Chain A
Amino acid sequence: MFQQSVNLKPHHLFTRNGILYLFFTDEIKAQKISPDLASIIESISAFATPIPPELADKLREAGLLDEPVETQSAPAAKIDINKLEFPVSNISMNIIQDCNMSCVYCYGMGGEYSHKGAMSLETARKSVDWLIENSQSVPNITIGFFGGEPLMNLPLLKETVAYAKRRGRESGKEVAFSMNTNATLITDEILAYLKREGINIAVSFDGPPEIHDSQRPFKGGKGTHETVTANIGKILAEFPDTSARGIVYGGADPLKVKEEMKRAGFKSWTIGSASPVVIAGAENHDAEETSAERMLELIAHEGNEAAEIIKQRRLPGGIVGVCLMLLATGERRIYFCGVGKGMAAISADGDIYPCHRFVGCEETKMGNIAGYKAGKMNGYHTSLVTRLPACSGCWGRFVCGGGCFYDHLSRTGDMHTPGDSYCRINLTALETAIAVYCELDDGDIAFLKAQAETGAVDKIRP
């Protein structure tokens, strides 16, 4: 009997609650399929398997065949890398490497990054100059104030904002500002200043007192929940869109954290699990696996409520919600984030790192503001998800983008090799989102797409 060879497109076939789903890796598309089709797919291998024509027709109908498409377009011109810009458009500045708190999971070793101290005014100004120079032709740049607790160096923050605004005007660039704070030092006067200067805030907050106080005490051990919640009320009165940042550690329940964030009045939030510390000599916590299990519980919860929220024309929260928006747009994600590329972190000493999480990790230091020039394609630009050995064959690669290099380095010793729990969480979330997506109607998907295109995906950022 005549048989023909077929190539299947990269895909992922899975079952959820007794329903079969098919996800196309390259096209970022998903559909429910019949058990009949699933068994055909499972019976053949991915490459050039000879099968009867009627089976090939069924696979073709489902969009599974990887067949050459004849096009009239000319072959793509060779790209001249020397004509491309590789700008840095946002920096985080460790204006102080010290903190009034002692969070149990802090990757900065109590906010000090093994090198306690405050940034000088000269270093702060040079950092701003460095950003303006290395942002090349990018008109909109961002400065994030980070620490430690940046409000412990408020005078320098004010000096830096004034200087950056002046330099921005001189260089024709719009400068935006953000600040991550533990909210213990907030006063009415500070809030008035932040509002006047247009500085966005993100607040670190781990939810109910029994979790927050055990994870985020003052140095000395006293809980901070009472102080922080009192200040959150003031912050949200002035900045209603302020984002909450929570960490689950050990057995902490992320659902309780999320509920407390909502109760406190936050409209946007992020919850993540703690990563180990990579600074030389650091002692590490051993609570990741429990946190991973807890994160999976949160993902299941998000999946259960996502479709109903979308029907109400609201955006579903959580990683499942963001996966849904990316499914709606179909945009391929080749990087996870701007690490080492469009973003950089500057330590109190003026050293440059790929992102704020790497500060103090000597082997990842890129240089110093005194001499380092960005603008060339570097190893972070070439770390496309399609080139990462651990990720290039993963079915979820174009939604994940390769993941957080800091998290990978801290767990596996290689910034391009994720830990097991990392992928388990990500891929579970994506499968959950696919199942939800397949229940949505055209209007729901159009809503998600419109939200994504107006930048809703990026609103996670402060």
Chain B
Amino acid sequence: MQSNDRKEKMTSIGKAAVSNNVADHKELSNEDLAMIAGSSARFQKMNCPPPISPISSGWK
């Protein structure tokens, strides 16, 4: 799929991510903000490949 086709298929939230706009805070609930700020912070910095994906990872 080429770039122009992708742009047409993208949802509004996807377009916002790609355009890298600073997010509109008004769209976010306090619960959203709490999640962004809070307990899952480690998932914000998680490198690739992260756990849980169609990537099967493990230890001997």
Contact = CB atoms under 8 A, between A and B. Distances in A.
Contact of B23 (A321, A381, A399): A381
Interface in A113-141: none
Interface size class for chain B?
35 or more
A340 B13 CA distance: 14
B20 A379 contact: yes
A445 B48 CA distance: 26
Interface string A450-462: 0000001111110
A354 B56 CA distance: 23
A337 B46 contact: yes
A371 B41 CA distance: 26
Nearest to A141: B45
Nearest to A415: B14
A400 B40 CA distance: 13
Nearest to A135: B45
Nearest to B9: A413
Interface in A33-78: 76, 78
B23 A382 contact: yes
B43 A414 contact: no
B54 A273 contact: yes
Contacts of B46: 335, 337-338, 342-343, 458, 461
B37 to A, nearest CB: 5
Contact of B52 (A302, A326, A332): A326
6 contacts: A81-B28, A84-B37, A325-B51, A337-B47, A367-B20, A416-B13
Given A335-B43, A363-B18, 11 more contacts: A90-B45, A272-B54, A280-B3, A281-B2, A315-B59, A318-B56, A337-B48, A357-B48, A401-B50, A458-B51, A460-B49
